[in-house]
Amino acid sequence: MHREELAALAAEHQRHLDTFAHHIFVCAGLGCPGNEAIVAALRSEIAERQLQDRVLLRKAGCMGLCALGPIVLIQPGEIAYHTVSPDDAAEIVASLDREPVARLRLAPDLPFFARQHKNVLALSGRIDPEEIRDYIAAGGYAALCTALATMRPVDIVRCIQESGLRGRGGAGYPTGLKWATVAKAPGDKKYVICNGDEGDPGAFMDRSILESTPHAVLEGMIIAAYAVGASQGYIYVRAEYPLAIKRLRLAIREAERRNLLGHAICGLGFDFTLQLRLGAGAFVCGEETALIESIEGRRGIPRPRPPYPAEKGLWSSPTLINNVETYANIPRIVERGPAWFSALGTERSKGTKVFALTGKIRHAGLVEVPMGMNLREIIFDIGGGIPDGHAFKAVQTGGPSGGCIPAEFLDTPVSYESLNELGSIMGSGGMIVIDETSSMIDVVRYFMEFCMEESCGKCVPCRVGTAQVHRLLTRFLEHRATAADLAMLEDLCDLMKHASLCGLGQSAPNPVLSTLRYFRQEYLDRIVPAEPATEEQA
Amino acid sequence: MSKLRLATLWLDGCSGCHMSLLDTDERLLELAAQMDIVYSPLVDTKQFPERVDVVCIEGAVSTEEDEARLRLVRQRSGLLIAMGDCAVTGNVPAMRNPLGAEAMLRAVYRESPVLAPQIPIEDLPRLHGHALPLHRFVPVDLFIPGCPPAADTLFAALAALIAGTADGLRLDTRFGA
Amino acid sequence: MSAPILTLTIDGRQVSGLASETVLQVAKENGIAIPTLCFLEGLSATGACRLCMVEIEGSPRLHPACVTPIQEGMTVTTDSKRLFGYRRAIVQLLFSERNHVCAVCVANGHCELQELARAFGIDHIAFPCRHPALEVDASHSRFVLDHNRCVLCTRCVRVCGEIEGAHTWDVKNRGIRIQIVADLDTPWGAAATCTGCGKCVHVCPTGALAEKGKSMAEMRQKRPFLPYLVANRAEERK
């Protein structure tokens, strides 16, 4: 498909969409229960009133406010209804040409929506993820066609470098630098991989992006492949994401049919094929070298780095591996230019970031904010604060690899650097809010148990260290720990952090270390002064 | 100068470490010149003295009684030495740990071909679920691994104690030696 | 084309090596001993045990010497108080993980784990031992696998796949529950791919793999076959 054909298709589909007076979008993410029934009820209601030609009903991706889902969005007018049930269908359809249904309507100026800055999620909930023409009509694939037709690979790499985009998967490595390395790496065959093995507890940014705008991820990958000279790509998604997988399969097929993937993409001399690979549920396969082992058909265990995948990755070829959200950022950066992107955010953390707000928070859900927004705004303004009158205690960022940040740092602007300084990490974007009713040691032990279960077992500090630390935390939880246990806990955390093979083991102590830093008294309060009691082990 | 008051204690072990101590042979006389053995399976005293300078303990802690004796001895002793692998790591007595006490008693007393299968309970201390090394219960001042530690090793340790050079003592022994 | 020769500093000594060599190789060539456990010359290096970690000037991280290629001008420290502490902790973690009873082990006196403990002056295990209930697989006619003694170095897996070419051994499960398995987790004696060559038995650093009929301290591993086979193969490839 040439640029002109793409533009024609976009215009044609937009004309089709414009023939409808009303557009109803129903949140149809994996996490929204009962949306099928709502769609069915709305459809029959529309049919009954013979409004098929005036009202277009579509299933869309996540609209973010999961705590009040399912959400139904009416356009034009930006009317959002919350906690919709099939019984509300008649009222909603009846109100289309009249006043909105007040009892279901979310305040138009609700900070949850008003304070966000949507870039990656801009089309989430506003297009049908299973309809490529929706994406194209909204401007999709224009960046790809423009890039292929008017930019050299080196121009694209420079564009990404100048944008300041950093990896959204956790470590925050400069994306442009990674692309430049792969582009320069010698080798006839190169690969591009999308890491969709999202596994942090409480994190669902990538799932939502894949379910809502699968084509944006595809487009980002194809542009990346062109930029680094790759001819083959893989999307690695965990099998626990069936809806994302279904929509990705469909998206790949549709893109192939329209010559946006495959041979001579956009009628130009660039070939790129894309395959889906499903992860079998191992958290460690989110680690890039373990993921590569898994794609190669082996046990998913990390390899020592160096060599880095950029030099020697999949089947020993130079390999670009980025996270879902990173790729989803690419089309807009290419389309609007690096300056547009780098205008957002902080000095060293550019653009926007998607966060999954969970835990003790009123508006649990998915939000996208500019880097540099402070934690208080995210948790209290957008997230609505803590429910049931309880007080905020800490926010856990970065999942099992992250740390717990106490109330005194709520005014910290969120960036890769600021979170690192607080002993936590940005991670992939999980934010778990903890209130005063929770014991930090309980929280930390949960994460250590997670790491213990998910350790691949290859290196000793992680395999045995997680088990020993988990045992120690249990002793603290049960008020059986001694001062010697506290010293041993700190020594083991230090060992794991510095001697483990991969990021899983190196960062597994972070929740412990950050709580030892900010909530040390909770540990001290549980120390018994006596000699160690009789110890019975399982 | 008064003589060093030495005690030795035998918990869950095979007495091999005590045999090794006896294996110091004529050097025992040398030691005896500088220390009194005030309590030991090797001597006749029935009660652990109120105060001893050094206690060498053989064996793992396997029963409630072992634990009680260990704690008492810890209180009454200046320096506590874990003598041999059972006291240091649990060693052979700890081989039952993966099974647990119940299953082991069943296997030994009920499932083996004896005339009247029964699990003895009267007059016997109750077994702990696990046989464990001393330092899981009380602080230990010196560890002497070995199964048993060689007579030379034990002699070297005691000689160093007498000479006051036991700090940072590095003994030529290992687990299973 | 041979690799270029690089110069570097290890423990204050100026040394040189081929660019294709690792820090461990160059150190060894120069008589500098770095402790290892999972590494065995002739097999691929995996960097799993973390005992050969060294400090490299200018890098905040520690680097496993067995998989770290040398670089021109690099300054390596193979022993320090910090490294010594980590190595001691790692060996103790291994002892705490399963049931290592040296006194009754077939490999007593010929065991690399036992020797590491001795070398590091480890006279007790600071961490509580886990005492897992693990099986002994004696189904093979000539060999026995005692999971209680296994340190999961995967030398057996590598020698079987890389040298014998049978790939009988692999690893199952995750984390603390990982275990060596024959074929698709079948008893060793029933593993169709096992050629009975015994290479795994002789590369095992502990008493986990042993010949049947050996009693305490009787299992002596014979290793010379490995460099011999590796050298012959290199010759063949030429």
Q: Is B98 on the interface with C (CB under 8 A)?
A: yes
Looking at residue C1, its pLDDT comes to 52
User: What dihedral do alpha carbons C185, C190, C192, C193 form, nearest 10°?
Assistant: 60
| Cβ neighbours, 10 Å, residue B44 | 6
Among A265-269, A449-453, C30-34, the minimum mean pLDDT is found in A265-269
Q: What is the CA radius of gyration of chain B?
A: 17
Contact status, residue A35 vs residue A82, Cβ threshold 8 Å = no
Inter-chain contact B136–A536, Cβ cutoff 8 Å? no
What percent of chain A lies above the pLDDT cut of 90?
93
C226 and C187 co-located in one domain? yes
C55 and C130 co-located in one domain? no
User: Which chain A residue shows the shortest CA-CA distance from B62?
Assistant: A534
| In the block, residue with structure tokens 């510095």 | A498
Chain C residue numbers with beta carbons less than 8 Å from the beta carbon of A457 are 152, 171, 173-178
Domain boundary among A388, A411, A438: A438
C43 and C157 co-located in one domain? no
Neighbors of chain A by Cβ distance (3+ pairs < 8 Å): B, C
pLDDT for residue B149 is more than 90: yes
Confidence of residue A530 (pLDDT cuts 50, 70, 90): low
Please tell me the distance in Å from C213's CA to the nearest CA on chain A: 31
A194 and A328 co-located in one domain? yes
Q: What is the CA radius of gyration of chain C?
A: 19
Of A456, A488, A492, the CB nearest to C174: A456
A183 and A321 co-located in one domain? yes
Sign of the alpha-carbon dihedral angle for B137, B139, B141, B145: positive
Give the single-character DSSP code of B150: P
Tell me the two tokens of residue A14. 């937009």
C107 and C61 co-located in one domain? no
Inter-chain contact A455–C171, Cβ cutoff 8 Å? no
Backbone angles phi, psi at B52, to 5 degrees: -130, 160
Chain B residue numbers with beta carbons less than 8 Å from the beta carbon of A487 are none
pLDDT for residue A3 is more than 90: no
A257 and A373 co-located in one domain? no
| Residue pairs spanning A and C at CB distance below 8 A | 93
Query: Strand pairing of C62-64 and A232-238?
Result: unpaired
* CATH classification at residue B136: 3.40.50.700
Chain B residue numbers with beta carbons less than 8 Å from the beta carbon of A531 are 71, 74, 137-139
A237 and A329 co-located in one domain? yes
Half-sphere exposure of B87 (CA within 13 A, CB side): 32
Domain boundary among A423, A438, A453: A438
Mean pLDDT of all residues in C167-176: 97
DSSP annotation string for A170-208: SS--BHHHHHHHHHHS--S--EEEEEE---STT--HHHH
Chain C residue numbers with beta carbons less than 8 Å from the beta carbon of A464 are 93-94, 96-97, 176
Tell me how many domains chain C contains: 2
* Contact residues, chain C to chain B, C-beta under 8 Å: 95, 99-105, 108-109, 114-115, 117-118, 121, 123-125, 128-129, 131-134
Half-sphere exposure of B33 (CA within 13 A, CB side): 6
Confidence of residue A171 (pLDDT cuts 50, 70, 90): confident
pLDDT one-digit tens code per residue, A319-354: 999 999 999 999 999 999 999 999 999 999 999 999
| Domain interval for residue B30 | 4-95+127-163
Query: Strand pairing of B61-63 and B127-132?
Result: antiparallel
pLDDT one-digit tens code per residue, C206-219: 999 999 999 999 99
Contact status, residue A99 vs residue A57, Cβ threshold 8 Å = no
Provide CB contacts within 8 A for A30, sequence distance 6+: A207, A211, A241, A242, A243, A244
Tell me how many domains chain B contains: 1
Taking the C-alpha atoms of residue C35 and residue C213, their distance in angstroms, rounded to an integer, is 31
- Whether A223 is in a domain gets the answer yes
Which contacts (CB < 8 Å, 24+ apart) does range B22-26 have?
A: B23/B151, B24/B151, B24/B152, B24/B154, B24/B155, B25/B151
- Shortest CA distance to B55 belongs to which of B3, B6, B4? B6
Inter-chain contact A498–C62, Cβ cutoff 8 Å? yes
Chain C residue numbers with beta carbons less than 8 Å from the beta carbon of A460 are 48-50, 90, 93-94
Taking the C-alpha atoms of residue C36 and residue C49, their distance in angstroms, rounded to an integer, is 8
A410 and A451 co-located in one domain? no
Mean pLDDT of all residues in B60-78: 97
Q: Is C176 on the interface with A (CB under 8 A)?
A: yes
Chain A residue numbers with beta carbons less than 8 Å from the beta carbon of B132 are 535
C131 and C212 co-located in one domain? yes
Please tell me the distance in Å from B137's CA to the nearest CA on chain A: 6
Taking the C-alpha atoms of residue A132 and residue A166, their distance in angstroms, rounded to an integer, is 28
Mean pLDDT of all residues in A44-57: 95
Tell me how many domains chain A contains: 4
Half-sphere exposure of A122 (CA within 13 A, CB side): 14
Backbone angles phi, psi at C88, to 5 degrees: -60, -40
| Cβ neighbours, 10 Å, residue B109 | 14
pLDDT for residue A537 is more than 90: no
Of C101, C105, C128, the CB nearest to B136: C128
- Whether A300 is in a domain gets the answer yes
User: Which chain A residue shows the shortest CA-CA distance from C59?
Assistant: A498
Q: Is B143 on the interface with C (CB under 8 A)?
A: yes
| In the block, residue with structure tokens 């103790």 | C92
Neighbors of chain C by Cβ distance (3+ pairs < 8 Å): A, B
pLDDT for residue A246 is more than 70: yes
A31 and A85 co-located in one domain? yes
Mean pLDDT of all residues in C112-135: 97
A309 and A384 co-located in one domain? no
Q: Does the interface ipTM go beyond 0.95?
A: yes
Taking the C-alpha atoms of residue C48 and residue C215, their distance in angstroms, rounded to an integer, is 30
A375 and A386 co-located in one domain? yes
Question: Which helix (H) or strand (E) element contains residue C55?
Answer: strand C53-56
Query: Any bridge partners for residue C210, and if so which?
Result: C144
Taking the C-alpha atoms of residue C160 and residue C166, their distance in angstroms, rounded to an integer, is 6
A79 and A196 co-located in one domain? no
Neighbors of chain B by Cβ distance (3+ pairs < 8 Å): A, C
Interior angle at CA B56, CA B52 and CA B59, nearest 5: 135
Burial tier of A320 (Cβ tally within 10 Å: 0-12, 13-18, 19+): buried
C115 and C201 co-located in one domain? yes
What percent of chain B lies above the pLDDT cut of 90?
80
Sign of the alpha-carbon dihedral angle for A216, A219, A221, A227: negative
Beta strands in A304-351 (DSSP E): 319-323
Specify the pTM. Answer: 0.94
Confidence of residue B119 (pLDDT cuts 50, 70, 90): confident
Mean pLDDT of all residues in B104-119: 82
Q: How far is CA C7 from the centre of its chain?
A: 28
- Whether B48 is in a domain gets the answer yes
pLDDT for residue B35 is more than 80: yes
Taking the C-alpha atoms of residue C105 and residue B92, their distance in angstroms, rounded to an integer, is 11
- Whether B55 is in a domain gets the answer yes
* CATH classification at residue A95: 3.40.30.10
- Shortest CA distance to A294 belongs to which of A271, A270, A272, A321? A321
Inter-chain contact C178–A467, Cβ cutoff 8 Å? no
- Whether B16 is in a domain gets the answer yes
Taking the C-alpha atoms of residue A317 and residue A328, their distance in angstroms, rounded to an integer, is 24
C58 and C116 co-located in one domain? no
Contact status, residue A372 vs residue A346, Cβ threshold 8 Å = yes
Taking the C-alpha atoms of residue C234 and residue B128, their distance in angstroms, rounded to an integer, is 57
Backbone angles phi, psi at A19, to 5 degrees: -75, -10
Chain C residue numbers with beta carbons less than 8 Å from the beta carbon of A459 are 47-50
C209 and C100 co-located in one domain? yes
pLDDT one-digit tens code per residue, A247-274: 999 999 999 999 999 999 998 989 999 9
Inter-chain contact C175–A492, Cβ cutoff 8 Å? no
- Whether B49 is in a domain gets the answer yes
| Domain interval for residue C107 | 85-237
Query: Any bridge partners for residue A430, and if so which?
Result: A356
Q: What is the CA radius of gyration of chain A?
A: 24
Write the single-letter amino acid at A323: N
Give the single-character DSSP code of A269: S
pLDDT for residue A44 is more than 70: yes
Sign of the alpha-carbon dihedral angle for A448, A453, A456, A459: positive
What percent of chain B lies above the pLDDT cut of 70?
99
Chain B residue numbers with beta carbons less than 8 Å from the beta carbon of A535 are 130, 132, 136
User: Which chain C residue shows the shortest CA-CA distance from A484?
Assistant: C126
| Cβ neighbours, 10 Å, residue C221 | 18
| Domain interval for residue A462 | 441-524
pLDDT for residue B1 is more than 80: no
State chain A's mean pLDDT as an integer.
95
| Cβ neighbours, 10 Å, residue A306 | 13
Inter-chain contact C50–A461, Cβ cutoff 8 Å? yes
Q: Is B131 on the interface with C (CB under 8 A)?
A: no
* CATH classification at residue C51: 3.10.20.740
| In the block, residue with structure tokens 């670089």 | C71
- Shortest CA distance to A160 belongs to which of A182, A139, A138? A182
Inter-chain contact C114–B140, Cβ cutoff 8 Å? no
| In the block, residue with structure tokens 């309809």 | A131
Inter-chain contact A455–C175, Cβ cutoff 8 Å? yes
pLDDT one-digit tens code per residue, A274-306: 999 999 989 999 999 999 999 999 999 999 998
Chain C residue numbers with beta carbons less than 8 Å from the beta carbon of A456 are 174-175, 178
Looking at residue B118, its pLDDT comes to 82
User: Which chain C residue shows the shortest CA-CA distance from B88?
Assistant: C124
Contact status, residue A357 vs residue A365, Cβ threshold 8 Å = yes
C70 and C179 co-located in one domain? no
Taking the C-alpha atoms of residue C19 and residue C4, their distance in angstroms, rounded to an integer, is 6
Chain A residue numbers with beta carbons less than 8 Å from the beta carbon of C93 are 460-461, 464-465, 468
Half-sphere exposure of A309 (CA within 13 A, CB side): 23
